[in-house]
Amino acid sequence: MRFCSPDNKPDTVLTNKPLSCRIAVLGVALAAIYAPLAMAAEEICVPDLLSLPTPGPAPEKPGDPLPIELEGDEVESVKADIMSMRGNATLKRGRQTMSADQIRYLRQTDEVEGEGNVILHSQSGDRLNMSSVKLQVETFIGEAEAVEYRLAKRDRVPEDPDKAFVNARGSAEKIFFEGHDVMRLENVRYTTCAEGKDDVFLTASDMTLDQATGTGSAKHLKVRFKNVPIFYFPRVTFPINDERKSGFLFPSFGSQEGSGFVMQTPYYWNIAPNYDATIYPRVYAKRGVQLGGEFRYLTSTAEGSLFGEYLPSDSEFNDEDRGAYTIRHRQQFSRRWRANVGVEWVSDERYLDDFSNDIQISSAFFLPQFAEVFYTGQLWDFEARLFSYQTVDETIPASSEPYDRLPQFRVITKLPRGPYGMRYGLESELVNFQRDELLDGWRWDITPFVRMPLDNTWGYLTPKVSLRHTSYSLNDVAEGEDDRPSRSVPVFSLDSGVFFERVAAWRGTSMLHTLEPRAFYVYIPKKNQDDLPVFDTGFINLNNFGNIFSENRFFGRDRVGDTNQVTLALTSRFMEAESGTEWIRGSIGQIFFLEDRVENFTPGQEFTDDTSDFLAEVLARLSTNWSAYGYLQYDDDQSEVREGKFDLRFRPEPRKFIDLSYRFSRNALEQVELAAEWPLGSPRWHASLRERYSVRDEENLETRVGIEYDACCWKLRGFFQSRKDNLSEARNAFIVELELTGLTSISSGL
């Protein structure tokens, strides 16, 4: 059997873990395990270092063998080819050195024998303390007894090349040296923990460590945690460096709500340096046996992954076969041509809720399926795309599902500047919209434009003229209706702004304070568009300050909103004069309509309001660690807030933050979210919290509380999660994970 590092296991799109909702067990488990570990604040994970000995003399000529240097308080030539040293006896050959109470060197056989307090440094930096040793110097073949060893990583300490990081350490009754990179040990202890911390170690009757391949192998190996054996392997291979290795990962086990006891034994396959795969059978007590896996690849021009899961005859789902797969591929054909492929699919609408514990995944409405090609040229860009969706939210009616785009083409020009800095070009798109039981067909849209940026250090003025032409070729239209409607509408806009600035002082720092008024005018004449279909178009919400400067009040190309309007906005900034670091930025703005507007979705309806909602935005860097953001959309006609956002962030250092956010959208949502991670009196302890609460529905959408203890060579973490699925049903999870750093990880849900 084999096992390898958990870092070798690729992430998957639909990861799941053992679950339970018995949070009381978490308190009992943590109290029993964590209580003996409480400690004062300390520096965490300080690596062990090995001092490398001063190398011996270099060869006289390149290519000559390394000379041997012998020293001692007493030096005796026993025979013509035998040298004996006593008291501070040393032997040096390049980086390879030996010191002992007594050393004998045999010239004829190039062998060295050491007795009493023997310390041996190999050429790669390993250090071994032993009672006695017999070794052939050139080949590094020999044996030693009563050994304590510290193996060095091949990488040296960047700031001190005469030192190396310790890769592993341990002891053995006997060691057989089988070359400069291979050691065979008997009755051995092995650990990657720092000196003085033997929390995780391996014991074996026989072990071989091959530094050249980065692989260890052992017989009758036991993995001990806190001196308690937790796994036994009759034969096993494992990694002894950071390289990926094929082999079984430790099994994960536990229980999952709705699935019962769960057992998973992943196998990692390191196919090649640029190919790997993870295959796992997973047993659900209530559902059956699931087989899953992921294959990853990376070449000089492409990268991607294939992921899949299959569960036959799910007894908790009407004995139906269930599964999922994901395909990801990115291809670079040349400097100008590239392509992407992405396909996500699940067998049923409940799959993500049943097998994913990530609310970002389980709350998905649609899964995308696309293939696209891009060309980037000097004068124009081109895109070709096939795009469709799988609907995975069963609450969405068929009439609200998006159209497939089979295919879609886009061309955007990047022509050189004309006279007086004039910019001109066109944007065009050709799409075939498809959807069952609804009107579909082709749409062609082309927008030529001309604009003349007139810029200066104190301001700018940019007039722009464009023509929006859209035509259709529709399928299965009603009798008497036009199957080839079209529309052409001119658009004129004028964007202008002025920059005012003054020198100010804030907190003893020289600052620049700016005032930046901006006026944006748009004119689009009225055009009857009632006979045009609506494939991908809707109103642009003013939930983002930048949307106030849009020419068209619609996203998509099926509608162009008539208007005669001017947007007035004001932005002010405080920024450091020397560095340009922005500390505060605030903006306010509003659209003023000079004429009534046609609604464009409902025939005969008009917009008669004179102004848009009032928008305000503030971004503040309160200090080095604190920042805040606020956004407000206010309807002054109704005297009510339409949209609101607020974020407050405190981030003093990595893994130490508090984020508080508030979101409000009238008649839609009102949510408060708190996310935090913080050390608990020691850098080894961290607690995390995520809370998402719906004020509108008066219920928690997600609660996640976690705690982690990092002992450097092992980590213990646990968390409780409660979330709402797409049917507003509660999904609870309780997970405890023990990770043996550098060896493997054990995940258990209780």
Provide the whole-model pTM.
Answer: 0.76
Percent of the chain at pLDDT > 90 equals: 49
Q: Which residue has the higher pLDDT, 495 or 258?
A: 495
Output DSSP code: residue 3: B
Output DSSP code: residue 403: P
59 prior amide bond cis, ω within 30: no
Helix (H, G, I), strand (E, B) or coil at 362: helix
Say if CB 351 and CB 392 are below 8 A apart.
Answer: yes
Beta bridge mates, 590: 568
Is residue 725 over pLDDT 60?
yes
pLDDT band with cut points at 50, 70 and 90 for residue 362: low
Other Cβ atoms less than 10 A from the Cβ of 496: the count is 15
Say if CB 394 and CB 430 are below 8 A apart.
Answer: no
Output DSSP code: residue 551: S
Q: Is residue 179 part of a domain?
A: yes
Q: Which secondary-structure segment (H or E) carries 360?
A: helix 359-362
Distance CA 218, CA 239 (A): 11
Distance CA 228, CA 528 (A): 80
Percent of the chain at pLDDT > 70 equals: 90
Is residue 359 over pLDDT 70?
no
Distance CA 749, CA 253 (A): 7
Q: Is residue 379 part of a domain?
A: no
| pLDDT tens for each residue of 84-137 | 899 889 998 888 889 999 999 998 888 999 999 999 988 878 899 999 999 998
| pLDDT tens for each residue of 204-247 | 999 998 878 878 889 998 888 888 888 888 988 777 776 777 77
Q: Is residue 695 part of a domain?
A: no
Residue 357: per-residue pLDDT: 60
Task: Please compute the mean of the pLDDT values over residues 352-371 and round it to a whole number.
Answer: 74
Other Cβ atoms less than 10 A from the Cβ of 62: the count is 6
| pLDDT tens for each residue of 386-436 | 999 998 877 777 777 889 999 999 999 999 988 888 999 999 999 999 988
Q: Which of 178, 117, 182, 180 is nearest to 146 (CA)?
A: 117
| pLDDT tens for each residue of 468-486 | 999 999 998 888 889 999 9
Distance CA 561, CA 525 (A): 9
Least confident of 287-296, 554-563, 601-610: 601-610
Q: Which amino acid is at 144?
A: A
Task: Please compute the mean of the pLDDT values over residues 187-196 and round it to a whole number.
Answer: 88
Distance CA 409, CA 728 (A): 39
The answer for residues whose C-beta is within 8 angstroms of residue 161's C-beta and 6 or more apart is none
Q: Is residue 505 part of a domain?
A: no
Residue 377: per-residue pLDDT: 93
Q: What is the CATH number of the domain that holds 118?
A: 2.60.450.10
Q: Which of 92, 107, 202, 185 is nearest to 146 (CA)?
A: 185
pLDDT band with cut points at 50, 70 and 90 for residue 539: very high
Q: Which amino acid is at 435?
A: R
pLDDT band with cut points at 50, 70 and 90 for residue 35: very low
Q: Is residue 407 part of a domain?
A: no
| pLDDT tens for each residue of 602-648 | 887 888 999 999 999 999 998 889 999 999 999 988 899 999 999 99
Least confident of 189-193, 633-637, 742-746: 742-746
φ, ψ (nearest 5 deg) of residue 211: -70, -30
Residue 727: per-residue pLDDT: 65
Is residue 23 over pLDDT 50?
no
407 prior amide bond cis, ω within 30: yes
Q: Is residue 166 part of a domain?
A: yes
Say if CB 331 and CB 302 are below 8 A apart.
Answer: yes
Q: Is residue 272 part of a domain?
A: no
Q: Which secondary-structure segment (H or E) carries 351?
A: helix 351-355
Say if CB 493 and CB 551 are below 8 A apart.
Answer: yes
Q: Which of 107, 153, 102 is nearest to 127 (CA)?
A: 153
Say if CB 644 and CB 663 are below 8 A apart.
Answer: yes
Question: What mean pLDDT value characterizes the chain?
Answer: 85
Task: Please compute the mean of the pLDDT values over residues 286-304 and round it to a whole number.
Answer: 94
Q: Which residue has the tokens 């529709």?
A: 474
99 lies in which domain range?
49-193
Task: Please compute the mean of the pLDDT values over residues 254-258 and round it to a whole number.
Answer: 71
Query: What is the Cα 1 distance to its own chain's centre?
Result: 31
Q: Which residue has the higher pLDDT, 301 or 61?
A: 301
Q: For every residue of 449-500, which 3-state class applies, written as one string?
A: EEECCEEECCEEEEEEEEEEEEEEEEECCCCCCCCCCEEEEEEEEEEEEECE
Residue 749: per-residue pLDDT: 38
Q: Which residue has the tokens 């660690």?
A: 625
Residue 151: per-residue pLDDT: 86
| pLDDT tens for each residue of 676-708 | 999 988 888 999 999 999 998 888 888 889 999
pLDDT band with cut points at 50, 70 and 90 for residue 24: very low
Q: Which of 621, 617, 619, 599 is nearest to 608 (CA)?
A: 599
Is residue 281 over pLDDT 70?
yes
Residue 748: per-residue pLDDT: 42
If one counts the domains in the chain, the total is 1
Is residue 42 over pLDDT 60?
no
The answer for residues whose C-beta is within 8 angstroms of residue 47's C-beta and 6 or more apart is 165, 166, 194
Task: Please compute the mean of the pLDDT values over residues 329-354 and round it to a whole number.
Answer: 92
Q: Is residue 340 part of a domain?
A: no
Distance CA 366, CA 16 (A): 19
